[in-house]
Every structure is written in structure tokens, then in C-alpha cells.
Amino acid sequence: MKFDGVLFFPVTPFTPEGDVDVAILKEHITSRLPFGPGGVFPACGTGEFHALSIEEVRTVVTAAVEAVAGQVPVVAGAGGPLGHTLAAARAAEEAGADALLVLPPYLVTGPSAGLVAYIEAVAEASSLPVIVYHRGNAQYTAASMTRLAANPKVIGFKDGLGDVGLAQEIVSAIKATGRSDFALFNGLLTAELSQGAYRGLGIPLYSSAAFAMAPEIAKAYYDAYMSGDEVRRNALLEGFYAPLVRLRDQTPGFGVSLIKAGLRLGGLPVGSVRPPLVDPSEDQLLQLKSILVKGYELAGQ
């Protein structure tokens, strides 16, 4: 499976009554497709997977598959308690997803052998290939990724931990297996800020929550990144991404909340985030609006 472009993690819109808003979700996804995402990842971190029931996961992934209509891969989220994870994997397969992003298990921290078994159980639960998400209580070693890379159904590794030394060991271990089809992602929050360093580790792909909110800005950064235009890339980093990160770090969970808020500022009624996340204050919304104005200016919009 080939990913060529910014990896798009859509939000999950909710109606005022708290239900998944399928029509707005489809509009959200189709409006971003012209900006050339390399893949669409519904019901993942930015899509509030932690707050979705299995039936809601099915609804979100089905809507995404219909909206994408085969233009790029659709990779659905699965994670949490093992039973929930397996059910999400099956629901995603039934909905027509192309692959799974396996988020960390719930609460407990297991040894490497247990994490490997967790991924293998998810891989066996459906016919879909899986991507390993390395973060939180799911921290993989180079040896465990070597074992998982021996399974042809494991097709990728997404680093959300930020330990560059360990990431380098894992990249080297995967390459040593001879897998040329293995996708390597930078999955840190606001990954654009760290992608210059991750490219040096041999991790060329990155997820972009900003693409969901402001695809023009995210695409301008991606184009500068791919063309080697470091002047423009750094201008976008300093003028848009760095201030966005400073605002994001004011409140836990703002990696999602700000994206939804930005979409609402742009006129798309995606609703609020679900607990335990919270929406920005009025002052924080003003800060976000100012950051977006500067970002669009730098992107030439």
C-alpha cells in the first residue's frame, strides 16, 4: 500500500444532539481530497476514537469510504481494550477500509511480547493489513518490530513517542528485514514541527491534524518539504506551526480541540469535542483565529 502526500486525519463531527453527523463528515473529507492527501485516517486520534462506540466507528469509517470513493487508501482506527479493538477491526473491514492503524491498548502496560501478541491478534481479526502506533503504553522495541515486520499483514510503523534514538533503531531494524513495502510515519502531535528531524531518521511520511483544519496551509508546508524549499518551510514553521503548538500546549487534548475549533471558525459545523476533551475559551479562539490568518498569508491565500 502506497501513501503519497499528506496523511489526512479527519475530525468526527457531532450534531447538537451528540450523534455522528455523517453529512458534515462527508463534506469535511471531500473538501480536502482536492489537496492531494496520501491517505485518509478516519476514527483515529484526531477523529476522537477514544470517545466512539463500535457502531459509531462503523458509521464514521463507512462514511469515509463512501466519500473517498477509492481515490486514496482509507485507514481506520482500532485500539483500546482488546475486545473493542477486535470489534473495531471487523467493523472497519465490513465498512470497506483498506487498512487499520492500531492504537495503544487500554490502561495496562504489557511487556514487548504482550504488545506483539496484541498486534498479532488484531491482524488475525480481519483481512486488513495493520500499521503499528508506537506511543503511550504501547512502546515497541527494535526486536519486537523485527518480529512484527516478519508478518506480511503488518505494513507500517507510526512513531508518536518522540524518542529519536529508539526510532532510529526501529527504522534500522525494519530495513534489515528487507521489507521495501513498509511505511514509516511521524505521528507526533503537530508533526510538521518535527518532520525535518524525522526525515533524517529515514521516516519520510507524517500525519497532519492541521490538514484537517487548514489544508491550504498544510499543503503549502508539504510542497516546501518535498521540494526542498527550506526558506518557505521554515517561514511556515515559525509563523504558523510554532505558534499553533504553543497554543496547543496550553490545555491537554488541544491537539484535537483546536482542529475542531478551526473548522468551526471556517464555517464547517463539526460540533464540540466529547469529554474528557474541552473546547477552547473565547480568548484561545481569538488566538487561533490570528494564527490561522498568519498561516493563510504565508501560504499565499
pLDDT tens per residue, range 18-62: 999 999 999 999 999 999 999 999 999 999 999 999 999 999 999
| Residue 231 falls inside a structural domain | no
Domain CATH code at residue 88: 3.20.20.70
| Residue 221 falls inside a structural domain | yes
What φ, ψ does residue 82 adopt, rounded to 5°?
-55, -45
User: Which residue in the list 118, 140, 158, 219 is annotated as catalytic?
Assistant: 158
Which tens digits make up the pLDDT trace of 5-21? 999 999 999 999 999 99
User: Which residue in the list 2, 26, 106, 133 is annotated as catalytic?
Assistant: 133
User: Does residue 207 register a pLDDT over 80?
Assistant: yes
| Residue 152 falls inside a structural domain | yes
Give how many domains the chain has, as a whole number: 1
> What's the whole-model pTM score?
0.96
Which tens digits make up the pLDDT trace of 263-291? 999 999 999 999 999 999 999 999 999 99
**Residue 26 designated active-site:** no
User: Does residue 1 register a pLDDT over 90?
Assistant: no
Q: What range does the domain containing 207 cover?
A: 7-225
Which tens digits make up the pLDDT trace of 76-122? 999 999 999 999 999 999 999 999 999 999 989 999 999 999 999 99
Element (DSSP H or E) covering residue 118: helix 112-125
| Residue 124 falls inside a structural domain | yes
| Residue 11 falls inside a structural domain | yes
* CA dihedral for 247, 229, 183, 114, sign (positive or negative): negative
Element (DSSP H or E) covering residue 156: strand 154-159
81 SS3 class: coil
Q: What is the pLDDT of residue 301?
A: 77
CB atoms within 10 A of CB 290: 12
Q: What is the pLDDT of residue 2?
A: 87
**Residue 133 designated active-site:** yes
Q: Cell numbers at residue 272, please?
A: 464540540
